[in-house]
Structure 1
């Protein structure tokens, strides 16, 4: 019996049930239970008859059935409870190590995902916000070539620079501090080709919702400036308890629905994580309408 237990000790982490099996088999018992610190490790098939019990230490007991004398056996098995405790500790440490490794891997994955999300946010903000100002600046430069007196390049340069600074800092667009309607009014109100229909009583929505709609509207206006030069552009906002709806329409040349390009895909990417929807209506000769809804 001691030889069988000794072979188990040679294992780096023997299972307590195997220790009970080695003891029970060596004793010719049908059942063997090793109780350590209130936990029972059992081996054998259920049988009848009385149990023999032997105290191994203050918190460990050996039980075998059918009954037999265990006095000398108990003395020889004195170190076994400590072996069981050690094996359980090793198992616990291994589990803890596995969980720690899994948690570390998960943390790294989440950090990588957050970095990718932030990279995409900066990319979208540059595309949606800064591009809007650069397009307006390009139009102003083109106008200056024909009529230098009418050029107003300084404020447009300042606006583009301020947008780049905000994007690099990773903060919300400053105008949104006063609400979405005020922000769009500040950004688009100076454009003579843009008409704003912004509800005066527009409620406030969570920052991600207002930010997404803000940039979607700016990019939609920027797209109209690029692809429908000279067209009139209408921007409309309406709010309700259910959420925020918006539309940007122009009376330009329009396009085939299959030729949406990456710009419109970026608009959808803005809204999808918030549960929002986007629809684009356009056809050659009929202008373009971009409208969407974001739950509040």
Structure 2
């Protein structure tokens, strides 16, 4: 009985929120009428794309509400509304998601109102009739009915808000196009960084090395001591050039990943981060199956970038890194208890993280409220 009461309570909350949304949608009719008049008279045609964006947000809120009840996510498939006014109008009108949302909204004016009208049956069914067993009997009848009503409302919303396969395919193509562009941009930036490191570092030292060897050869006969000093300097230059070359190679694909795997490489990375870092590993054995090299490199890059940001900006002396094997791939989580308030547009390196992860069809979630904590969670799909 307690479990039934709990589920009925959650169903009641779901139905109350659904009824509240139905009431707000009736108020939203005014916005729709103003937009329609403005579009027909051309004077207010700029209202159309803005209204479509509002409708998307309302439909998104309904998707989240329905997902919270059913536990099954309802995907979204929209074309991005941007560009000139003509382009925004064309996208808003031609996007299949617009018709889908308007169809749901029209239907919701009907079945949302039915939900609103049915809510009074819940307290009426629980009125005490003076007999204790009578109250229990009434509850036993009413509670499942409330749950079924919530299931019915969620089922209608799911059916009406689920995009068509063609819309999902179109959205996926657009996402992959954007991801490909980001990957190309990230690849170009990486090539420029490597070229800059080689030109300004190793190449400059090799040129200096060549000059010192040439001077040593000229001074060898007339001043052996000076030649010996020049050769010593040349040897030091050669060692420094080797160090910089190793750093460039490590930036492309750290050799330690090949030798010790992601877990060992991350432990070595955290040891030199300047923070007290706790590494938690779930489902990743050092002698077990490994993720593909590209996935390991991306995971390593995420940890390195997040710890660098934490050391520079968070003000926290500690951090936590978690590596977990999931059903879909690899999950990397880095958290610190610092001041929070991460600004992704302020050169924090998160844009590079997003591009590298997006190139592998992964996802990045950043939570960094003012005052902390900052949590960066990355999911990288792969087959183990």
- Whose helix fraction is larger, Structure 1's or Structure 2's? 2
Q: TM-score, normalised by structure 1?
A: 0.44
- Whose strand fraction is larger, Structure 1's or Structure 2's? 1
Q: Based on CA coordinates, which of the two structures has the bigger radius of gyration?
A: 1
